[in-house]
Chains A and B, each alone.
Chain A
Amino acid sequence: MNAPKQLAEAVRESLRSVIDPEIGLNIVDVGLVYDVDADGSGVVTVTMTTTTQGCPATGYLRQGAEEAAARTAGVAAAKVNLTYDPPWGPELMSETAREILGFG
């Protein structure tokens, strides 16, 4: 079994397969993933948000993140928590995402 830190990093990489459909970039670069926590038994907890509270895509993004996290090698169980504290803002995007959207 991977060490918790390595496992969390692997899950973060898996989450890049899930896109925010409106922005068109993966949820990690968009800054929707606030935290990935893994314990020693392979249980992973992802804390994430959406760009807009109440967005109809919320359920799908959460479910997609859960699927992607659970698929990662070494993950025994994956749980996704949604939070709006702090609320998402474009400043949370990665440098890559900012450059693509033209406000780097």
Chain B
Amino acid sequence: MPGASVARWSMSYFAAALACLLAGLALMAAGFGYPSQPAQAPDTLVVVHLVALGWLSALMLGALTQFVPVLVSQKLYSDRAPPIVLACHFLGLAGLLGGFVGLGRSWRSSVFLLPAGGLLLSLGFALAILNLGATLARNRPLAAPARIVAAGLASLPIVFGLGVVFTLALGGWAPGAGAARLLADDLSIHAAAGLGGWLTLTAFGVSYRLLAMFMLAPDAGGRLTEAVFWLGAGALIMLLQAVPGASPRLILAPRVLAVVFGSAAVAIYLWEVAGLFRQRKRRKLELNSKMSAVALAWLAVAAIALPASLAAEAPSPAPETLLFIAAFGWLTGLGLAMLYKIVAFLTWLECYGHWLGKRRTPRVQDLVREERALPWFVLYHVAVLCGAAALMLQWGVAFRFASLAMLCAAAAIGLEVLRIRRLAAVPAELAPPEGPPPLLFSRLRPTNA
């Protein structure tokens, strides 16, 4: 029977992603970009893309490489694609960030760096879509969580397609009023398809399965999950309708419908996931599940506040604060919680899987020290709360201190993840004879289940 195996390169994705998160938070703590500078200033774009692409997208790509095969009980279509995707992603990101830095300082190199970075990123994303899409296609018809992941992947061409157009416009390849209008009109679609479509829909699809697994709760996949898929797909189609150069009157309705569909999808998802928590058989929650619940609370805040903010046509800083909550409360909160668990699980498989039945092995939970990590997760979420308040109150100094606290917390969680990988918590008598695994990749070859 075919099945999933340990993805060889997921750890490389996770390590690079974590480095980008720390770099982004360090820049925010140093006062680089918003709110010290305007929301669309080149330095702000550096921070935004370092977090959205370097951290969140790389984390998601690494996680999907591991968990799309689990969702469909099939092997990854190509084991050779992930390192190529990784190289394209980070080379492209380097070009893009270099282009943004140069843009703020009138360097001529930006003219080439921006589109080159955008194209390399698009190439990496396209290859990832092909590989993950072909893996999903191996087990059709797909269950609802896998279809939600597919919808998230389908958002990506909107994100990187618009992104490439923006890099051409910012690089001066499409000068004049047309470029300015494009940036003003379609930036919100780029951001919504990225944060709402690509990152949030895929997080929904993967978390349905992971939360059920980790809490011993019934698998999702009934009518409510179906509704999340259709509403999410509907929101995506509405976003797509809003992209071309339609008249302002025509593009209003699809954008409104996208928000309505998207908010309904979030509400149903939250209701269903709350049901997983209620119906779980594992009464004592592990740290990753507890911290996922906090991230879900941030998602609820963002989902309630976004339609209200749009209905009231709230000016800055409300939209920026909501984006901050979505990126750092919801997506980063969930990402850090899941990373803590996933690294432990994959490390266990690498070190102890082949010893099952031959010698005594520890549990996955023996690789972590939750009491060490808990205070840092708490600090992280308190700092996000303070950061959101500081943004709303436009208190720049407080925002920098909150970012510094987030940086310290994320770095400490990163160290805990490193300790897991080094098997620091495992008693000596249970240490594997081969020693800890390599930090950045798995030494396992794919196995047949």
Within 8 A of A (CB), among B187-211: 209
- Is the CB–CB distance between A56 and B5 below 8 Å? yes
B347-365: contact bitstring with A at CB < 8 Å (1 yes, 0 no)? 0110011111110110111
Q: Tell me whether B73 is interfacial, beta carbon within 8 Å.
A: yes
Q: Tell me whether B225 is interfacial, beta carbon within 8 Å.
A: no
- Is the CB–CB distance between B283 and A102 below 8 Å? yes
B-binding segment of A1-9, A17-25, A32-40:
A17-25
A38-70: contact bitstring with B at CB < 8 Å (1 yes, 0 no)? 000000000000011111111111111111100
B74 neighbours in A (Cβ, 8 Å): 54
Q: What's the least CB distance linking B161 to chain A, in Å? A: 32
B346 neighbours in A (Cβ, 8 Å): 56
A103 neighbours in B (Cβ, 8 Å): 281-283
- Is the CB–CB distance between A64 and B357 below 8 Å? yes
A67 neighbours in B (Cβ, 8 Å): 356-358
Q: Tell me whether B334 is interfacial, beta carbon within 8 Å.
A: no
A-binding segment of B41-49, B64-72, B80-88:
B64-72
Q: What's the least CB distance linking B352 to chain A, in Å? A: 7
B348 neighbours in A (Cβ, 8 Å): 21
Q: Tell me whether A77 is interfacial, beta carbon within 8 Å.
A: no
- Is the CB–CB distance between A21 and B281 below 8 Å? no
Q: A63-B354, A90-B281 are in contact. Are A54 and B71 (CB under 8 A)?
A: yes
- Is the CB–CB distance between B349 and A57 below 8 Å? yes
B349 neighbours in A (Cβ, 8 Å): 21, 56-57, 60
Q: Tell me whether A10 is interfacial, beta carbon within 8 Å.
A: no
B352 neighbours in A (Cβ, 8 Å): 21
A18 neighbours in B (Cβ, 8 Å): 356-357
**Docked pose: A103 CA to B210 CA in angstroms:** 20
Considering only CB atoms, which chain A residue lies closest to B352 in the complex? Answer: A21
- Is the CB–CB distance between B361 and A21 below 8 Å? yes
Q: Tell me whether B32 is interfacial, beta carbon within 8 Å.
A: no
- Is the CB–CB distance between B213 and A22 below 8 Å? yes
**Docked pose: A57 CA to B4 CA in angstroms:** 8
**Docked pose: A27 CA to B295 CA in angstroms:** 32
Considering only CB atoms, which chain A residue lies closest to B361 in the complex? Answer: A19
Point out the residue from A17, A63, A66, A101 that lies within 8 Å of B216, measured CB to CB: A101
B-side interface residues, number (CB < 8 Å): 41
Q: What's the least CB distance linking A76 to chain B, in Å? A: 18
B436 neighbours in A (Cβ, 8 Å): none
B50-94: contact bitstring with A at CB < 8 Å (1 yes, 0 no)? 000000000000000010011111100000000000000000000
**Docked pose: A58 CA to B3 CA in angstroms:** 8
Considering only CB atoms, which chain A residue lies closest to B281 in the complex? Answer: A90
A51 neighbours in B (Cβ, 8 Å): 213, 216
**Docked pose: A22 CA to B66 CA in angstroms:** 17
**Residue with the highest number of chain A CB atoms closer than 10 Å, among B1, B282, B349:** B1
- Is the CB–CB distance between B73 and A54 below 8 Å? yes
Q: A54-B69, A63-B357 are in contact. Are A102 and B213 (CB under 8 A)?
A: no
Q: Tell me whether B214 is interfacial, beta carbon within 8 Å.
A: yes
Q: Tell me whether B247 is interfacial, beta carbon within 8 Å.
A: no
**Docked pose: A1 CA to B31 CA in angstroms:** 77
Point out the residue from B66, B284, B358 that lies within 8 Å of A64, measured CB to CB: B358
**Docked pose: A19 CA to B93 CA in angstroms:** 43
Q: A22-B214, A59-B3 are in contact. Are A54 and B70 (CB under 8 A)?
A: yes
Q: Tell me whether B324 is interfacial, beta carbon within 8 Å.
A: no
Q: Tell me whether B246 is interfacial, beta carbon within 8 Å.
A: no
Q: Tell me whether B148 is interfacial, beta carbon within 8 Å.
A: no
Q: What's the least CB distance linking B136 to chain A, in Å? A: 12
Q: A59-B449, A90-B281 are in contact. Are A66 and B357 (CB under 8 A)?
A: yes
**Residue with the highest number of chain B CB atoms closer than 10 Å, among A23, A52, A58, A82:** A58
- Is the CB–CB distance between B448 and A53 below 8 Å? no
Considering only CB atoms, which chain A residue lies closest to B364 in the complex? Answer: A21
B427-449: contact bitstring with A at CB < 8 Å (1 yes, 0 no)? 00000000000000000000111
Considering only CB atoms, which chain B residue lies closest to A58 in the complex? Answer: B449
Q: What's the least CB distance linking B121 to chain A, in Å? A: 29
- Is the CB–CB distance between B448 and A59 below 8 Å? yes
A90 neighbours in B (Cβ, 8 Å): 216, 281
- Is the CB–CB distance between B70 and A55 below 8 Å? yes
- Is the CB–CB distance between B364 and A82 below 8 Å? no
A55 neighbours in B (Cβ, 8 Å): 3-4, 70, 213
Q: Tell me whether B230 is interfacial, beta carbon within 8 Å.
A: no
- Is the CB–CB distance between A62 and B449 below 8 Å? yes
B361-374: contact bitstring with A at CB < 8 Å (1 yes, 0 no)? 10111100000000
**Docked pose: A19 CA to B355 CA in angstroms:** 11
A22 neighbours in B (Cβ, 8 Å): 213-214, 345, 363-364
B1 neighbours in A (Cβ, 8 Å): 82
Question: What are 5 A-B pairs with beta-carbon distances under 8 A?
Answer: A22-B213, A55-B4, A56-B70, A65-B357, A98-B281
The 4 closest A-B pairs by CB, nearest first: A64-B356, A64-B357, A54-B73, A102-B283
8 further interface pairs, Cβ-Cβ under 8 Å (given A21-B349, A53-B3, A62-B449): A17-B360, A18-B356, A18-B357, A54-B3, A56-B70, A56-B349, A63-B356, A68-B357
